[in-house]
Amino acid sequence: MAGQETFPPPFKTLFARTELDARIAELGAEITRDYQDKGEDLVLIGVLKGSVIFMADLCRAINLPLSMDFMGIASYGDDTKSSGVVQITSDLSKSIEGKHVLIVEDIIDTGLTAHYLFDNLATRHPASVKLCSLLHKPDRTERAVQIDYLGFSVPNKFVVGYGLDIAQKYRNLDFIGYVEE
């Protein structure tokens, strides 16, 4: 049809769905072991929107009676660079006081958003806060953050798919790819 773009565009595959599945199964087993005695009090907090696909698979790889909540974050800055000044566009639906919080992120890029989240959540008196991120781009670090559970490190390329977007598109790709320059 005239004007219709090919879908998906010719992204280079970085991680196929099978690789993502295998790594997420390992992360889930590790989290299950570490939170075994805290099960009822474990809350996964997904950061919208990039983490939703990862969150959906990760939560099913964890064998504990956890609960889930989401936080919407808008970052001020241009399309490719976060300024670290963020706005909460949608807040948690329940108190996390006394809970063991595991933040679930799609990617840690500069680290500025994760820093903001750690500071913000700490004011709500959780029992603990840890971070699980599917991806990390170490070359772009501006503020180092401790990633307690990491899927993969990635090169300094703009990655897309499996929740990650370019201008809100391609979150529904079943693999993680990048645009070849």
Task: Kindly tell me which of 110 and 149 has the beta carbon lying closer to ligand IMP.
Answer: 110
Q: How far is the CB of 180 from ligand IMP (least distance, A)?
A: 14
Task: Kindly tell me which of 39 and 178 has the beta carbon lying closer to ligand IMP.
Answer: 178
CA distance 164 to 31: 23
Task: Give the interface with ligand IMP as residue ranges (CB under 6 A).
Answer: 50, 82, 105-114, 158-160, 164-165
Q: How far is the CB of 171 from ligand IMP (least distance, A)?
A: 9
Amino acid at the residue 96: I
SS3 132: strand
Task: Kindly tell me which of 40 and 139 has the beta carbon lying closer to ligand IMP.
Answer: 139
Contact status, residue 96 vs residue 124, Cβ threshold 8 Å:
yes
Cβ neighbours of 3 (radius 10 Å): 4
Q: Which one is catalytic: 78, 79, 109, 165?
A: 109
Strands ordered across the beta sheet of 67-77: 82-90, 67-77, 42-48, 100-108, 128-136, 149-153
Q: How far is the CB of 120 from ligand IMP (least distance, A)?
A: 13
109 tagged catalytic: yes
**Catalytic center residues:** 109
